[in-house]
Amino acid sequence: MMWKDPNCVYTHKNKLFLKHVNEIVELGKHFLEFHRIPLEFYEYLSYLANYHDIGKTYYKWDFGKKIPHSRYSLRYILEKKEFFKNNPKLTWLLLFFIAKHHSALTSGLADPDSGMAIDQLNSILKKKAFEWAFLINITDTFGFFKLADVCSANNRIDFKFKKPKADENIVRAIIGNNIDETKFAQQKSALLSAPNITILRAYTGWGKTDVSTLFFEQKNVSRIFYMFPTITAINKFEEKLKRAVGDEVSKYFHLYLADVREDEDKIRDLFYVRSFSSPYIITTVDQFLLAFLQVGKYFLKRPMFRDSGIVVDEVHLLTPLMLHLLVYFVKKFQEIYNFRILFMSATLPQALNSYLTSELGLRSNSVLDFSSEYEKKRRVMWEQRSEKIENVLADLADEKKLENKKILLVVNTVKKAVQLAHMLQNEYKKEYEKEFNIIHARLAYDHRKEKEKWINSMKDLPHILVSTQVCEVSLDINYDLLITERASIPALIQRFGRINRRGNEIKEVNVCVAEPEVSERYPYTPGELREADKMIQELERENLKNEKNLLEYLDQQLSEDKLRREIEKEIKDIDIKAWEETFCYFFSMRISDEKMRGLINYRDGLTTNIIPHPKCISDEKFKNYVKTFLERARKVGNLTYEEKMKIIGNLLGISVPVPFWWLKNIKPEEIYGFPVVDLSKEGIIYDDRYGFERL
């Protein structure tokens, strides 16, 4: 007989077929109800629960033999004609889910039965046989089915979603001691009465990040996503939020949900469930965009945004492409997902304010503006320099203006930052981690945390810090002298906020603005640099009366029409309509897909976290640590569940964010979905002090 009795088949260790099915149905019902998915979709989830592992009843399949079972599940259904309500269109859709329930929803399948499913489904989707809203709901249902499947397979059947608390007590715990009660009353009044999508412009020091949770107190959200521009910002807020809510907060910033072996898939996906379904999730805008662009196993992430609250911090730092995509998907999904969003910025240009208001159909009460305090401050005074930053540094050194000071050097690229750090060590004979340090985005997570601790320990001691844009937000630093490359006006304003933070008025120059060294994939457009040059000239030295002048200048130079033209220019290689037609709001996209090329090649593009292969690590101690760790991680079968979960957490610690385009011609080894990449052939090595650098 070809098929065994399901009652006698074990789908997982110590778990009979029917027990697994019942657990998925029970968990799945809770998942769908929690996220307000219509009742009809419970039937689809139940069908998937009953048939996804039916291939394990095939006479050749046995637990522990590592024989793929999805193809046999399809063969069983087709042979027995156990179709969903005799509805061919829905049946082919569900068969495709079953065929792909251990992988992304890509449109490529190998075996004949699965190939038939994709051919039928492609034809159905191209004819637009399903309504758009139905496709979104059915794919989200598949995502929740998969989460239930993972929970059951790992005996985590007690898993329940829990809504976040967003009351005053939580926020007071986030802020900590020394609360300004007058200001807190102002913050509470403004945020509690704000509509579901709100824009907040507040001066540096107003405390927008700490009090942002108040925005959701009366909005009944499923969970709160805090989206920060840097990992440093994520780490800082995580510490505060954990002080208030304990283990109910998680952070998630690696993007790579690649296809892996089934044994790794179960553990990796469960780790994902734990880190992306908490009541409070701290992450990046990249995560939102990758989920809605349907990259990889997007169905595990996108459904979590249903009925969610979202904080987009420092929205002005988004590139034109990221801004365009964020607004596009918010508009497209708002009716189904019912987002509640708080856009925040200390230096929000009026043009961006108008763009968001217009695109999202916001009313005047959707904008909260507390920027008037800038009129009382002038904490910076700059001089423009016509030289490159290394020449400015040399001049100041010759003039003895670097002695006994805390000095911040900010450049626009990682490459330039590494060059400056080497210069400090080799030419100026500065001692690393005693007299200087470097921080940027291409550092392993654990190394970056060590650098953040060092920076905090040196807050009252003379030193030099070399940084990129990562210093612009959430680093609690206060320097005596800033030497920066010219950047966009919003970026410069953020950098000015790292100097003389606790003063009100400065009488002498404490900022030098050097000429940038423009290169390929530069983070700022020529137009942005020209506008900044004009501002630097016109408001140099005493011409800057107060910091409100900076915002006023920005508003004068950047109109909404100009911003829209800039966006159109920057997204010309991104064809969102072609993306819709190709992926039909259903199929998964690979980073190798042609439709990803514009996203990958755009400036530094979207980023993912990789593990540097020992071959491209220069430091022997770190190289040996990574080598030993990877050898242990590969022995999946010999580890307990707790050990596997710990390994994934440790993988995050040694992972490094890099642009996707670095990987486009590389086929890395996958460990729990993390690509292990040898970049030495590309002339790129990793150093624990300087991060990734090109030889």
Determine, yes or no, domain membership for 1: no
In this structure, the answer to whether residues 382 and 362 fall within a common structural domain is no
In this structure, the answer to whether residues 358 and 403 fall within a common structural domain is no
| Euclidean distance between CA atoms 129 and 255, whole angstroms | 32
498-526 pLDDT, tens digit each: 887 767 788 899 999 999 998 877 888 88
The residue with tokens 């006994």 is: 404
pLDDT of residue 259: 42
Determine, yes or no, domain membership for 583: no
pLDDT of residue 594: 60
Instruction: Tell me which DSSP letter residue 270 carries.
Output: H
559-596 pLDDT, tens digit each: 899 899 988 887 877 778 888 888 888 888 876 666 55
The residue with tokens 């990259």 is: 295
pLDDT of residue 231: 79
In this structure, the answer to whether residues 174 and 322 fall within a common structural domain is yes
Please, which residues bridge with residue 670 across strands?
A: 675
User: What is the average per-residue pLDDT within 265-273?
Assistant: 60
What's the token pair of residue 455? 């920076």
116-126 pLDDT, tens digit each: 767 777 778 87
Please, which residues bridge with residue 407 across strands?
A: 464, 481
Determine, yes or no, domain membership for 256: yes
Determine, yes or no, domain membership for 81: yes
Helix (H) or strand (E) holding 143: helix 132-153
SS3 658: strand
The residues, ordered by sequence, that sit 6+ positions from 453 with a Cβ below 8 Å of its Cβ are none
Q: What is the DSSP string of 6-70?
A: GGG-EEETTEEHHHHHHHHHHHHHHHHHHTT--TTHHHHHHHHHHHTTGGGGBTT--TTS----H
Helix (H) or strand (E) holding 226: strand 224-227
User: What is the average per-residue pLDDT within 320-344?
Assistant: 96
Determine, yes or no, domain membership for 117: yes
Query: Given pLDDT bands bounded at 50, 70 and 90, which one contains residue 665?
Result: confident
Task: Say how many domains are in the chain.
Answer: 4
- Other C-beta atoms closer than 10 Å to the C-beta of 515 total 17
CATH of the domain at 539: 3.40.50.300
Are 253 and 281 within 8 A, CB to CB? no
User: What is the average per-residue pLDDT within 416-437?
Assistant: 96
- Other C-beta atoms closer than 10 Å to the C-beta of 8 total 9
pTM: 0.87
User: What is the average per-residue pLDDT within 165-187?
Assistant: 94
Query: Which residue, 487, 571, 196, 179, is CA-closest to 316?
Result: 487
620-659 pLDDT, tens digit each: 999 999 998 888 777 756 666 667 667 777 888 898 988 8
Domain extent for 141: 6-153
pLDDT of residue 320: 86
**Residue 349 CA to its chain's centroid (Å):** 23
pLDDT of residue 307: 98
In this structure, the answer to whether residues 516 and 536 fall within a common structural domain is yes
Query: Given pLDDT bands bounded at 50, 70 and 90, which one contains residue 13?
Result: confident
| Euclidean distance between CA atoms 592 and 358, whole angstroms | 35
Residue, of 635 and 194, whose pLDDT is higher: 194
Query: Which residue, 44, 57, 96, is CA-closest to 74?
Result: 96
448-462 pLDDT, tens digit each: 989 999 998 998 999
Write down which residue in 545, 564, 597 finishes a domain: 545
In this structure, the answer to whether residues 320 and 282 fall within a common structural domain is yes
Phi-psi region of 278 (alpha: psi -120 to 50; beta: other; left: phi over 0): beta
Please, which residues bridge with residue 686 across strands?
A: 617, 692
In this structure, the answer to whether residues 270 and 382 fall within a common structural domain is no
In this structure, the answer to whether residues 247 and 102 fall within a common structural domain is no
In this structure, the answer to whether residues 459 and 499 fall within a common structural domain is yes
In this structure, the answer to whether residues 646 and 688 fall within a common structural domain is yes
In this structure, the answer to whether residues 532 and 388 fall within a common structural domain is yes
In this structure, the answer to whether residues 253 and 283 fall within a common structural domain is yes
Determine, yes or no, domain membership for 208: yes
User: What is the average per-residue pLDDT within 214-233?
Assistant: 93
Query: Given pLDDT bands bounded at 50, 70 and 90, which one contains residue 288?
Result: very high
Write down which residue in 526, 545, 564 finishes a domain: 545
What's the token pair of residue 2? 């070809």
Determine, yes or no, domain membership for 569: no
- Whether the per-residue pLDDT at 257 is higher than 60: the answer is no
Determine, yes or no, domain membership for 581: no
Query: Given pLDDT bands bounded at 50, 70 and 90, which one contains residue 597?
Result: low
Are 615 and 532 within 8 A, CB to CB? no
| Euclidean distance between CA atoms 526 and 518, whole angstroms | 9
pLDDT of residue 118: 72
Phi, psi of 604, rounded to the nearest 5 degrees? -90, 0
User: What is the average per-residue pLDDT within 157-162?
Assistant: 90
57-73 pLDDT, tens digit each: 988 887 766 678 888 89
Write down which residue in 350, 372, 394 finishes a domain: 372
pLDDT of residue 152: 92
User: What is the average per-residue pLDDT within 281-307?
Assistant: 91
In this structure, the answer to whether residues 124 and 28 fall within a common structural domain is yes
